[in-house]
Structure 1
């Protein structure tokens, strides 16, 4: 093999020490304090290093990446799976030597790193998702406390953390025990159809311990609600930074798609996103709303041209099947980790499987009947990701033709397959309509 990078270095990152390897030089270790990382940058420049590779280890790489990039070095962040050490003794010193050797021969691939504004948006979005999960845990705690008092509200209304449920819980903690009065706090639509059931569900056996547990759970749920609101404000600021005044903003007279769950409190979110993407609207795709569009923006950025084709994009997302063949054994390979953007497409695809009017839903149900739900969701997510890439790279417009057009296309494909098989067998296909006419 021929070396393609003469001035390359390899770095192994740890919590306390960073080891760097330069060809022809002994391995040198640096502490992880800021002044030591800056000394590492000076050391690399002094030895004429032009490019350096390091593994994506937790979040330890973030500050080192920024410091080395500030020294004008070409920094390669690589996946740890592609730098697996050869069998034998493994140490941090040998790891950095191995990374340097792989990098000098051009055997490593760069990880995708978005620009600064997208990274900022990603931090707020991921933190918001963490708060949503934490808040959901305390909803379960509230349900448990109510059940301990035999208040079966969750069996009567759809969700106790809705407007009606929260009013009832706050009234209980304020000292109200009358079931009739508590039931009147529900929305009129609930009272119109099942007032009697609501009243029966609110007749419980109260205990001091369960009330204390309910109070604690409510306080924690309110706290995470406040944290989510703060993240929403930061997300709005981030979108405004990315959508500058010079960016053309088309008028959005038509109504945007409804966001059913966890809608961010961001004013004109759709307009900001249209401004960032110069008028290209991802919500024309099935299953994509302004919210998961913003999630995708925070994960993959605005420049999808970094992936050469839609196949490269779906492979990076972890939505393409991976081969793991050996001799006569052919099986799919399931990677240990995948980008979060792939999960966002899967969440959108899961909702499409129940659609009665969208062609992708019919495609997914066809796959589900043969190979199961998980394979169907992944297949639909891959189709959706391809459309997303084509929309922003090729500028192709998406038109939803509906299930009927999809079924007509499938019928035509079946007719072609039958005709081809008949020709191979020396037979002739005669249409039923033609035979009836004769």
Structure 2
């Protein structure tokens, strides 16, 4: 085939080095939903390209064939979730498996076909031109799957709340205008009484919690509507779906707790930190202690990061930061570092790349929560907001949080907040130093004015 005769060795010339084969025993796999195309070096088999179905027995035959061909390194594209069973099987069989980004290998010269794709992957891998994507250890992968499932359940439960609100609005029950959250204690008590058959607005309003700011009269006014049967049926089903998601969340939290106990490295407990409110939708067990026993440091000491944010980050990255060469590589993987689109010595764009990274999304939410924090990070974020657009400031603050997490996990040191006043004084000293240097270059001297 035309692609099989591709010569990647450049012509000899001044300052050029030949591209050498670094992985002579590499194979390339084009992943599909029903079958996988596999290419090995041409001298290993009479048919160096073969197709295997995606059934488990065929995947076992695929691994046996690769071993018979002397393959030790396998490159495959990240196609949906179809690559996961084959990746896990080959990894368990002792192969070095690299999951490569499909964007990096999609430009194949010639006609597009599955056979050409797997051959192209095999050739690029043999010359060492592909890099594998980051994948945490197997225990962290289990925690990641459970955490993602929990996030999915929370979104499903949120949709059930929206369905409740829709049914109430259709009955002209304006409860959402007087109670901040219909999923809270007061809202749930009232909704369950409605589903049970209570229609007296004053009896329903009496179920409100003492912390609700709205008066009992205002709540009773909002609970006068048209109790149509079809809307009450929709409200009942939405409430049942909400309860069912709550039961599944409790089961998911139990599994997460058990997995965190399997990953723990010590039995010590974290020291007491700042007193903070309980994170919304946080698991019922002591998640802060479990995370501390897993990584040896308390990430929640960083302002803006609560237990759910720490869980989201650690479940995606794990605790072994040696897989990232530096904090800059870690921030780049998260998609939080500035872009480097430079041509002719001119910076064309510094925009961060688009990246659907769950850990980065959690850090962005944590950064946005710093707007009212009376800490050094809060002062840093507010100063960024005064200089640039808020989305850019959120990304920059999330980048700083990522570097702090990397430092804590690599050095094993606790984070200590110096306070807002300390940051402001440091910033003032930097400004004065820069002004003094500029004045010195102009032949002037900066003199402090006497207080009035």
Which range, TM-score by smaller chain?
Answer: over 0.9
Scaled by the length of structure 1, what TM-score is found? 0.93
| Residues 334 and 285 (structure 1), Cα distance of their counterparts in 2 relative to 1, 3 Å cut | closer
Distance 1:284 1:184 in 2: 41
1:208 to 2:226 alignment:
no
SS in structure 1 at match of 2:450: helix
Q: Which residue of 1 aligns with 2:55?
A: 33
Question: Match for 2:361 among 343, 346, 350?
Answer: 343
User: Which residue of the other structure, out of 305, 312, 315, is the alignment partner of 1:295?
Assistant: 312
**Residue 383 (structure 1) aligned with residue 388 (structure 2):** no
> What do residues 309-367 of structure 1 show as CA deviations (whole Å, max 9, x unaligned)?
11111111110012223445611355343321111111111101222x11212221222
Secondary structure at the residue paired with 1:18?
strand
- Measured in 2, the distance between the counterparts of 1:85 and 1:257 equals 51
Counterpart of 1:4 in structure 2 is: 22
Q: Which residue of 1 aligns with 2:333?
A: 316
Cα distance change, pair 294–361 in 1 and its aligned pair in 2 (3 A): same
Question: 2:378 matched to 1:361?
Answer: yes
Q: 1:102 to 1:257 in 2, by over 3 A?
A: farther
Taking the aligned partners of 2:368 and 2:320, their CA distance within structure 1 comes to 26
Q: For 1:113 and 1:303, how far apart are their aligned partners in 2?
A: 11
Does residue 405 of the first structure (1) align with residue 422 of the second (2)? Answer: yes
Confirm or deny: 8 A CA contact 2:274 2:301 kept in the other structure. Answer: no
Indicate conservation of the 8 Å contact 1:252/1:271, yes or no.
no
2:124 counterpart of 1:102: yes
Q: What CA distance in whole angstroms lies between the structure 2 residues aligned with 1:32 and 1:346?
A: 38
Give the whole-Å Cα distance in 2 for the aligned partners of 1:371 and 1:220: 43
Deviation at 1:32, TM superposition (A): 0.7
Q: Provide, for residues 27-68 of structure 1, a one-character-per-residue CA deviation record: whole Å limited to 9, x for no partner.
A: 211111111111111111111111111112221111111221
Matched, 1:222 2:243: yes
| Distance (whole Å) between structure 1 residues aligned to residue 215 and residue 124 of structure 2 | 68
In 1: Cα distance, 2:388 partner to 2:295 partner: 37
Q: Distance in 1 between matches of 2:28 and 2:301?
A: 45
Mean CA deviation greater in 107-116 or 175-184: 107-116
> What does residue 231 of structure 1 align with?
252
User: Are the aligned partners of 2:39 and 2:119 in contact in 1 as well (CA < 8 Å)?
Assistant: yes
The counterpart of 2:205, out of the listed 156, 179, 183, is: 183
Q: Closer, same or farther in 2 for the Cα pair 1:348/1:275, shift >3 Å?
A: same
Tell me the CA shift for residue 235 of structure 1. Answer: 0.9
Deviates more, 1:257-266 or 1:311-320: 257-266
Q: Is the 8 A contact 1:257 1:283 kept in 2?
A: no
What does residue range 128-143 of structure 1 map to in structure 2 within 5 Å?
Answer: 128-143=150-165
1:272: Cα distance to partner? 2.0
The 8 Å contact of residues 270 and 292 in structure 2, kept in 1 or not, is answered as no
1:34-113 correspondence runs (5 A): 34-113=56-135
Residue pairs, 1:263-302, within 5 angstroms: 263-266=282-285, 268-278=286-296, 280-302=297-319
Residue 392 of structure 1, aligned match among 409, 420, 431: 409
Change (3 A) 1:272 1:334: closer
Say if 1:259 and 1:291, in contact at 8 Å, map to a contact too: no
Partner residue, 1:197: 218
- Using the TM superposition, give the Cα deviation of residue 389 of structure 1 relative to its aligned residue in structure 2, in angstroms: 0.5
Structure 2: state its 5+ residue gaps.
1-18
Aligned to 2:14: none
Q: Indicate if the aligned counterparts of 1:256 and 1:270 stay in contact, CA closer than 8 A.
A: no
Is the 8 Å Cα contact of residues 258 and 289 (structure 1) preserved in structure 2?
no
The secondary structure found in structure 1 opposite 2:107 is: coil
Distance in 2 between residues matched to 1:99 and 1:290, nearest whole Å: 41
Residues in 1 aligned to 2:207 and 2:430: alpha-carbon distance in whole angstroms = 57
Q: Give CA-to-partner distance per residue, 1:150-204, whole Å, 9 cap, x none.
A: 11111111101101111111111111111110011111232x7522211111122
Cα deviation digits, residues 124-156 of structure 1 (max 9, x gap): 111111111111111111111111111111111
TM-score by length of 2: 0.90
Measure the CA separation in 2 of the matches of 1:256 and 1:55.
Answer: 46
* Alignment check: 8 A CA contact 2:74 2:95 kept: yes
Look up the match of 1:243: 264
Task: Give the aligned CA root-mean-square deviation in angstroms.
Answer: 2.0
Give the whole-Å Cα distance in 2 for the aligned partners of 1:108 and 1:318.
20
Out of 438, 444, 452, the residue aligned to residue 421 of structure 1 is: 438
Three-state SS of the structure 2 residue aligned to 1:214 is helix
1:405-437 Cα distance to aligned partner (Å, 9 max, x none): 111111111111111212222222222139x9x
Contact in 1 for aligned 2:174/2:222 (Cα 8 Å): yes
| Residue 179 (structure 2) aligned to one of 151, 154, 157 | 157
How far apart, in 2, do the equivalents of 1:239 and 1:398 lie? 22
